[in-house]
């Protein structure tokens, strides 16, 4: 290797990995959320039970706008 070439090390890749945001993916079966995956980029960090306190908080934060419309239609019927 010449002096201008350097091997890629984990420390050089770390800043790129730190910039990736944490996202949550709901795993559904038959229309029911069975798990929540916490992801950092494409890496699976952990699985959260949707019935747990943290799972319910995450689901409440990430509800779709369609749900309140359905609830108001049912209430007006």
pTM listed for this prediction: 0.59
What pLDDT does 6 receive?
A: 42
The sign of the torsion formed by the CA atoms of 20, 22, 28, 31 equals negative
The per-residue pLDDT for range 29-77, each reduced to its tens digit, is 999 999 999 999 999 999 999 999 999 999 998 776 655 555 545 555 5
The per-residue pLDDT for range 5-26, each reduced to its tens digit, is 544 444 455 555 578 899 999 9
What pLDDT does 20 receive?
A: 86
What pLDDT does 75 receive?
A: 55
Cβ-count burial of 9 within 10 angstroms (0-12 exposed, 13-18 middle, 19+ buried)?
exposed
């Amino acid at each position: 290797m010449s002096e201008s070439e350097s091997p890629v090390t984990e420390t050089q890749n770390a800043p790129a990995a730190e910039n990736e945001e944490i996202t949550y993916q709901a795993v559904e079966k038959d229309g029911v959320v069975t798990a929540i995956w916490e992801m950092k980029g494409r890496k699976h960090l952990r699985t959260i039970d949707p019935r747990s306190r943290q799972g319910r908080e995450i689901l409440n934060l990430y509800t779709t706008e369609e749900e309140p419309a359905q609830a108001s239609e049912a209430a007006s019927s």
